[in-house]
């Protein structure tokens, strides 16, 4: 065998060998080209890696970065395309200091060693030079980066990981990084050093930080920065311009500034010594925050100020302010504990503080603007504290038992509400002071202080339901409201208006000057015992004027009943009472005349009492007359004791059968009568007394007790009508009963055909009674306030209810033929009101929880108009077979049911749940209204037609499979469909039609209908379908269609229409463009590089004039980045794609697009590549 291998030799072998060399060279060239192309395609920033010779011993003497002999290959990495790889892990004993002594710009530096022998990358400056370092990426593994004084370093990505790793920034040096990550490492800043993190933020886990005085650490970036288990001592300034998240850490800071950033702190402690400014906000969870002035810090030459624009504390967090000149908190929520110790000024603006403690030896001023303090504690304060209130403020409880003064000052036009707790404002000469137009309200409270003073103009003090202990209460030019209260102390009143609304006990004296008013307005049963007057004063009572009046009870609305000749005790004092100007202020509530008496009852107790008397001559009916067998005439003088018939306005007729009920019967008034008062009573368990009136009667009052009033073809005008104990009021055919005041309890009311029962004065109170009314009767409640409580229908009432003023039905069940309400009608506490004919509410109708209003047709075509209607959650509005209904300005958060109604209009309303039953069909006109849900799933009729005008919203629709629901968006109107509930119009002929210049917006939705149609005549229509599923065929003409983030199950047929895709779209159907139509893709997100995430996917075919593609800004304001050579998938279809394409936003990139159609797995893809 020869040296050629035994099968060739000589020249032939040489020729073959030469050929092999050429082939090998060609292969190498090809491989190099392929590698170059692949590298260019995959990573344009690939570094040339240059390794440090770790056999060099840098542990005993420093190694120089710029010494070529220290690098493998003799080349120093100093180019942005090069990486310096320094890895001592294989030779840890050689790890030491590598010194950079001149400017450096390199792509990356990777320095790695072990924790037992860390390496150090040191940048040294020889004064007065300045060294500039620019590195794309520095990675430190158990190594140190040391910047000496005078270094300016810029790093895109800094990764520091491992024990003994860290970064040291020398005096006056600057280090700027885009992204920094520290793990089990440390960072140190010397005096005047600067460390700035930009863009992608900072991450620190299990690290320590130390920054010397005058240093600067600045964290910006669009992404949150995270500090977890970090121990940081920063004696310089920390600036946060992004979102900083701190967990399980201790931050000891000198100053903190965050003009644009947000701090989220959990399970951590933050301590500051200098000024703090936070413009955006701080969230604390289970954490402690302490801002304190450090008198030993020589850098502090100005007062320490903390300003935080928003702070939220949760999970038992504590915020401590110590020896600060000023601390300002805006819009903050302290659900934990706020402590101010020896602070000069603290400002709370729109804040809530659960527990606030002030203490220390420095006088403190707290300014509270529109804030709430749940609990305040000043037990440990040894210097005066003053709280200035402005706006509306609340203090729920307080405890200040120290010897220092605590003063509460209500500044002009401010309000302080003390409610629901124990408020102790004690110690020294503590006080509450009011200034002009301010209001102090204390309700359900135990308040203790030294002095309450108001010498301002038009201030107000409201003290109700509790105990107030104050040595002195000195008030002038103040409106004072007291009730349900015990006051321990003396009151001195000057030029004040004092109103008592409930019982008042003063353990002290009451002194008022001649310009002050003392008024009692009492809503409860008047006291008849001398030991329980409305007002009790243990010492002297001096007031120039004294007035008394009745007021409606806030719960029942009833007026206290005054019984004739019964003494009521109003005020008592242990000292003699001087002469007063005494007056009764509510004469319209009773026809009785008051007589005030002042008397000494026992010991030295003197009392002001009211005797409800009358100025009438009382004439009594002879109860021995038996009227049970034969009617008795009112005008028969023999029926009256003394033989005198009471028929004068100065006389009172008293018909009392309560002691001889067996004789009770019928007394008739058959002639016109004007008399002061008519009083009829009997025994409820035997026979009632009947008063039958068949004439014109005018009287100040009619009082019925177990009696019956029968108005038979008469006209009765009465000032006050009272009916109790099972009495009956019967208004006969054509009769009129008009009362100015009505107090009807446990009675029966019946109104016959064409009868009229009216209450037209101050008040009507009807309780525990029944109401029955015949057709064409009238029941009018036009009193200022009307209250019906537990009133039910005796039989189906067919009267006409007319109401004005305020009328409240409480636990009532009533029916009316129709109603007309011009005032406020409230249905409360499970009340039910029904109507059967035309009805109108032009005032306000309020239907509260568990109450209902029903309008039902019983034969005629009826109309219902409801303006300003409010249906609360749990309440019901039911419309049945109403021809036309108009609802204006409604807030219908309860259930609204429309059953077999022809036309329903909603205008400027909000509808929570609209239920449509048995459509005949039904037509809805919806204008400027929001409907959360339409439930048409139970309709048995053929069609529901809804026309939308102005701006409207529908959040849900349910129908049966066979039901047809049509939506029509009127000219120049907007309908927004959104996805609180599915919107399903399942009938085969259901559609959504958008007319001229109309707009349909469907977002976050599950929409099902047969067709979405536009047919504008003049102006374009507009449709937006986004985020969800739309199951419908879409037929559009002259329309601007925008789609994105949606799946459309149906075909898209368009003419003169622009289709714009702003997010991914899947069309389970085809696109058929007739003329003048195009598809435009304006994409704001990262372009898809996979065929599985094509922007516009069609299961059928597409026919449009052309397809346009462009880039748009995303919600963050950025345009998607594109990579040269990458293939992006725009559109896919199983059918061939023949449409031309164009790029519409060339200004966003210098790269040129190339559109290609490729096929894979029988799917055609339209792609674009930029080069």
Closest by CA position to 66, among listed 114, 131, 138: 131
Query: What mean pLDDT comes out for the span 62-86?
Result: 92
**Token representation of residue 354:** 């659960």
pLDDT band at 415 (very low <50, low <70, confident <90, very high): very high
Which run of H or of E encompasses 209?
strand 194-211
Query: Are the C-beta atoms of 329 and 353 separated by less than 8 Å?
Result: no
Tell me the HSE value of 780 on the side-chain side, using a 13 A CA sphere: 17
- What pLDDT, on the 0 to 100 scale, is given for residue 2? 37
- For 604, residues 6+ apart whose C-beta sits below 8 A from its C-beta are 574, 575, 576
**Token representation of residue 922:** 């039904």
How far is Cα 252 from Cα 233, in angstroms, rounded to an integer? 5
Segment among 439-448, 586-595, 820-829 with least mean pLDDT: 586-595
Closest by CA position to 151, among listed 220, 99, 208, 111: 99
- What pLDDT, on the 0 to 100 scale, is given for residue 149? 86
Query: What mean pLDDT comes out for the span 776-802?
Result: 81
Query: Are the C-beta atoms of 151 and 131 separated by less than 8 Å?
Result: yes
Q: What share of the chain has pLDDT > 70, as a percent?
A: 90
How far is Cα 232 from Cα 229, in angstroms, rounded to an integer? 10
pLDDT band at 76 (very low <50, low <70, confident <90, very high): very high
pLDDT greater than 70 at residue 479: yes
Segment among 128-137, 166-175, 195-204 with least mean pLDDT: 128-137
- What pLDDT, on the 0 to 100 scale, is given for residue 10? 36
Query: Are the C-beta atoms of 822 and 845 separated by less than 8 Å?
Result: no
Maximum pairwise Cα distance, the chain: 170
pLDDT greater than 80 at residue 603: no
pLDDT greater than 50 at residue 17: no
The model's pLDDT over 416-458, given as tens digits with 9 standing for 90+, comes to: 999 877 888 876 678 899 999 999 999 888 888 888 999 878 8
- For 849, residues 6+ apart whose C-beta sits below 8 A from its C-beta are 872, 873, 874, 875, 894
pLDDT band at 14 (very low <50, low <70, confident <90, very high): very low
pLDDT band at 920 (very low <50, low <70, confident <90, very high): low
**Token representation of residue 369:** 């603007």
Query: Are the C-beta atoms of 578 and 548 separated by less than 8 Å?
Result: no
Query: Are the C-beta atoms of 730 and 706 separated by less than 8 Å?
Result: no
Q: 260-274, 494-508, 1064-1078, 1133-1147: which has the highest mean pLDDT?
A: 494-508
The model's pLDDT over 179-197, given as tens digits with 9 standing for 90+, comes to: 999 999 999 999 999 999 9
- What pLDDT, on the 0 to 100 scale, is given for residue 21? 37
pLDDT greater than 50 at residue 26: no
Which run of H or of E encompasses 652?
strand 651-656
3-class secondary structure, 55: coil
The model's pLDDT over 539-575, given as tens digits with 9 standing for 90+, comes to: 888 887 888 888 888 887 788 888 776 778 888 887 7
Query: What mean pLDDT comes out for the span 1034-1047?
Result: 88
- For 357, residues 6+ apart whose C-beta sits below 8 A from its C-beta are 337, 338, 339, 340, 376, 377, 378, 380
pLDDT greater than 70 at residue 980: no
The reply to whether omega before 486 is within 30° of 0 (cis) is: no
- Cross-strand partners of 1156: 1167
How far is Cα 1077 from Cα 1107, in angstroms, rounded to an integer? 9
pLDDT greater than 80 at residue 1076: no
pLDDT greater than 60 at residue 8: no
The model's pLDDT over 645-664, given as tens digits with 9 standing for 90+, comes to: 999 988 889 898 888 888 88
- What pLDDT, on the 0 to 100 scale, is given for residue 381? 80
- What pLDDT, on the 0 to 100 scale, is given for residue 987? 62
Would you tell me how many other CB atoms lie within 10 Å of the CB of residue 1017? 10
pLDDT band at 39 (very low <50, low <70, confident <90, very high): very low
- What pLDDT, on the 0 to 100 scale, is given for residue 378? 82
pLDDT band at 19 (very low <50, low <70, confident <90, very high): very low
Segment among 288-292, 457-461, 514-518, 918-922 with least mean pLDDT: 918-922
Which run of H or of E encompasses 9?
none
Segment among 389-393, 562-566, 1093-1097 with least mean pLDDT: 562-566
> The whole model's pTM is what?
0.53
- What pLDDT, on the 0 to 100 scale, is given for residue 297? 57
pLDDT greater than 60 at residue 591: yes
pLDDT greater than 80 at residue 530: no
The model's pLDDT over 958-974, given as tens digits with 9 standing for 90+, comes to: 777 667 788 899 999 99
Length of the chain: 1171
How far is Cα 1035 from Cα 1031, in angstroms, rounded to an integer? 13
The model's pLDDT over 894-913, given as tens digits with 9 standing for 90+, comes to: 899 988 888 899 999 999 88
Would you tell me how many other CB atoms lie within 10 Å of the CB of residue 345? 16
- What pLDDT, on the 0 to 100 scale, is given for residue 481? 95
How far is Cα 608 from Cα 551, in angstroms, rounded to an integer? 19
How far is Cα 490 from Cα 537, in angstroms, rounded to an integer? 10
Mean pLDDT rounded to a whole number for the chain: 84
Segment among 286-295, 667-676, 1162-1171 with least mean pLDDT: 286-295
pLDDT band at 1104 (very low <50, low <70, confident <90, very high): confident
- What pLDDT, on the 0 to 100 scale, is given for residue 43? 38
φ, ψ dihedrals at 794, nearest 5° = -70, -40
pLDDT band at 919 (very low <50, low <70, confident <90, very high): low
- What pLDDT, on the 0 to 100 scale, is given for residue 429? 74
pLDDT greater than 60 at residue 126: no
The label of the residue with tokens 């504008």 reads 1016
3-class secondary structure, 951: strand
The model's pLDDT over 482-512, given as tens digits with 9 standing for 90+, comes to: 999 999 999 999 999 999 999 999 999 999 8
Closest by CA position to 339, among listed 355, 324, 328, 327: 355
Between 489 and 576, the higher pLDDT residue: 489
């Amino acid at each position: 065998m020869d040296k050629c291998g035994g099968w060739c030799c000589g020249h032939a072998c040489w020729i073959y060998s030469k050929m092999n060399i050429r082939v090998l060279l060609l292969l190498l060239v090809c491989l190099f080209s392929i590698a170059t192309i692949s590298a260019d395609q995959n990573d344009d920033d690939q570094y040339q890696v240059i390794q440090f010779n770790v056999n060099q011993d840098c542990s005993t003497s420093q190694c120089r970065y710029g010494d070529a002999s220290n690098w493998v290959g003799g080349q120093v990495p100093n180019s942005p395309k090069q990486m310096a790889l320094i890895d001592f892990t294989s030779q840890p004993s050689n790890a030491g200091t590598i010194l950079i002594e001149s400017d450096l710009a390199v792509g990356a530096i990777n320095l790695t060693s072990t924790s037992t022998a860390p390496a150090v990358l040191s940048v040294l400056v020889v004064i007065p030079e300045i060294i500039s370092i620019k590195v794309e990426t520095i990675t430190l593994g158990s190594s140190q980066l040391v910047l000496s004084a005078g270094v300016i370093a810029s790093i895109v990505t800094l990764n520091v990981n491992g024990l003994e790793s860290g970064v040291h920034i020398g005096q006056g040096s600057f280090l700027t990084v885009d992204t920094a990550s520290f793990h089990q490492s440390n960072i140190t800043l010397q005096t005047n050093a600067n460390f700035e993190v930009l863009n992608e933020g900072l991450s620190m886990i299990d690290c320590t930080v130390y920054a010397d005085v005058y240093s600067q650490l600045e964290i910006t970036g669009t992404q949150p920065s995270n500090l977890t288990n970090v121990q940081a001592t920063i004696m310089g300034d920390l600036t946060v311009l992004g979102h900083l998240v701190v967990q399980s850490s201790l931050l000891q800071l000198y100053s903190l500034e965050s003009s644009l950033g947000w701090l989220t702190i959990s399970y951590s402690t933050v301590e500051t010594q200098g000024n703090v400014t936070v413009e955006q906000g701080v969230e604390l969870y289970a954490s402690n925050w302490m801002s304190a002035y450090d008198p030993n810090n020589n850098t502090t030459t100005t007062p320490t100020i903390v300003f935080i624009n928003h702070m939220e504390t949760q999970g038992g967090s504590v915020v401590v302010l110590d020896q600060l000149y000023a601390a300002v908190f805006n819009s903050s929520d302290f659900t934990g504990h706020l402590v101010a110790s020896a602070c000069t000024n603290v400002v709370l603006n729109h804040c809530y503080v659960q527990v606030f403690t002030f203490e220390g030896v420095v006088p403190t001023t707290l300014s509270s603007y529109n804030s709430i303090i749940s609990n305040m504690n000043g037990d440990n304060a040894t210097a005066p504290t003053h709280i200035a209130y402005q706006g509306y403020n609340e203090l729920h409880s307080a405890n200040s038992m120290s010897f220092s003064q605590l003063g509460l000052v209500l500044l002009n036009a401010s309000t302080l509400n003390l409610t629901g707790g124990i408020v102790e404002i004690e110690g020294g000469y503590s006080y509450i002071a009011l200034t002009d137009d301010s209001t102090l309200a204390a309700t359900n409270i135990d308040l203790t202080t030294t002095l309450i003073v108001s010498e301002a103009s038009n201030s107000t003090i409201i003290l109700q339901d509790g105990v107030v202990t104050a040595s002195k209460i000195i008030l002038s030019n103040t409106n004072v409201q007291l009730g349900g209260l015990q006051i321990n102390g003396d009151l001195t009143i000057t030029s004040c208006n004092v109103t008592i609304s409930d019982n008042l006990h003063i353990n002290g004296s009451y002194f008022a000057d001649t310009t002050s008013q003392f008024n009692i307005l009492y809503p409860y049963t008047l006291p008849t015992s001398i030991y329980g007057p409305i007002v009790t004063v243990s010492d002297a009572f001096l007031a120039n004027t004294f007035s008394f009046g009745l007021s409606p009870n806030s719960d029942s609305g009833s007026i206290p009943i005054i019984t004739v000749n019964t003494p009521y005790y109003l005020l008592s004092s242990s000292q003699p009472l001087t002469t007063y100007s005494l007056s009764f202020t509510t004469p319209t509530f009773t026809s009785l005349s008051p007589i005030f008496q002042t008397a000494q009852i026992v010991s030295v107790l003197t009392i002001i009492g009211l005797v409800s008397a009358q100025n009438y001559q009382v004439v009594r009916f002879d109860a021995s007359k038996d009227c049970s067998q034969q009617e008795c005439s009112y005008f028969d003088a023999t029926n009256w004791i003394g033989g005198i018939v009471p028929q004068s306005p100065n006389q009172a007729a008293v018909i009392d059968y309560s002691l001889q009920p067996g004789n009770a019967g019928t007394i008739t008034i058959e002639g016109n009568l004007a008399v002061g008062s008519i009083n009829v009573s009997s025994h409820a368990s035997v026979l009632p007394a009947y008063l039958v009136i068949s004439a014109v009667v005018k009287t100040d009052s009619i009082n019925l007790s177990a009696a019956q009033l029968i108005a038979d073809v008469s006209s009765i005008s009465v000032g006050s009508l009272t009916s109790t104990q099972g009495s009956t009021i019967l208004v006969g055919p054509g009769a009129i009963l008009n009362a100015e005041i009505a107090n009807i309890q446990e009675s029966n009311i019946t109104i016959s055909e064409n009868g009229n029962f009216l209450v037209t004065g101050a008040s009507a109170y009807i309780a525990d009674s029944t109401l029955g009314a015949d057709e064409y009767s009238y029941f009018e409640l036009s009193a200022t306030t009307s209250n019906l409580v537990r009133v039910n229908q005796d039989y189906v009432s067919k009267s006409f209810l007319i109401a004005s003023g305020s009328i409240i039905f409480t636990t009532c069940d009533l029916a009316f033929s129709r109603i007309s309400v011009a005032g406020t009608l409230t249905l409360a506490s499970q009340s039910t009101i029904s109507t059967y004919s035309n009805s109108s509410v032009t005032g306000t109708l309020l239907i509260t929880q568990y109450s209902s209003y029903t309008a039902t047709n019983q034969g005629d075509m009826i109309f219902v108009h409801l303006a300003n209607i409010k249906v609360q959650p749990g309440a019901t509005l039911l419309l049945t077979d109403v021809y036309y209904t108009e609802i204006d300005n409604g807030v219908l958060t309860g259930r609204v049911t429309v059953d077999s109604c022809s036309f329903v209009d909603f205008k400027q309303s909000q509808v929570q749940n609209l239920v449509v039953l048995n459509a005949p069909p039904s037509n809805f006109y919806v204008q400027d209204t929001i409907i959360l849900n339409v439930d048409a799933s139970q309709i048995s009729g053929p069609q529901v037609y809804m026309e939308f005008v102005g701006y409207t919203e529908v959040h849900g629709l349910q129908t049966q499979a066979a039901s047809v629901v049509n939506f029509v968006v009127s000219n120049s109107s907007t309908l927004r469909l959104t996805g609180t509930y599915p919107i399903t119009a399942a009938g085969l002929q259901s559609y959504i039609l958008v007319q001229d210049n109309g707009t349909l917006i469907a977002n976050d939705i599950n929409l099902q209908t047969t067709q979405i149609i536009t047919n504008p005549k003049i102006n374009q229509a507009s449709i937006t379908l986004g985020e969800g599923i739309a199951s419908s065929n879409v037929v559009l003409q002259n329309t601007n269609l925008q789609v994105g983030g949606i799946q459309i199950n149906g075909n898209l047929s368009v003419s003169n229409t622009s289709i714009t895709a702003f997010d991914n779209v899947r069309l389970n159907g085809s696109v058929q463009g007739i003329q003048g139509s195009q598809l435009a893709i304006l994409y704001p997100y990262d372009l898809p590089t996979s065929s599985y995430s094509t922007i516009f996917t069609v299961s059928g075919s597409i026919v449009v004039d052309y397809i346009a593609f462009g880039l748009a800004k995303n919600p963050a304001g950025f345009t998607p980045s594109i990579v040269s050579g990458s293939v992006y998938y725009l559109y896919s279809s199983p059918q061939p794609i023949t449409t031309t394409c164009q790029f519409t936003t060339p200004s966003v990139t210098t790269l040129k697009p190339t559109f290609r159609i490729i096929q894979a797995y029988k799917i055609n893809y339209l792609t674009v590549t930029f080069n």
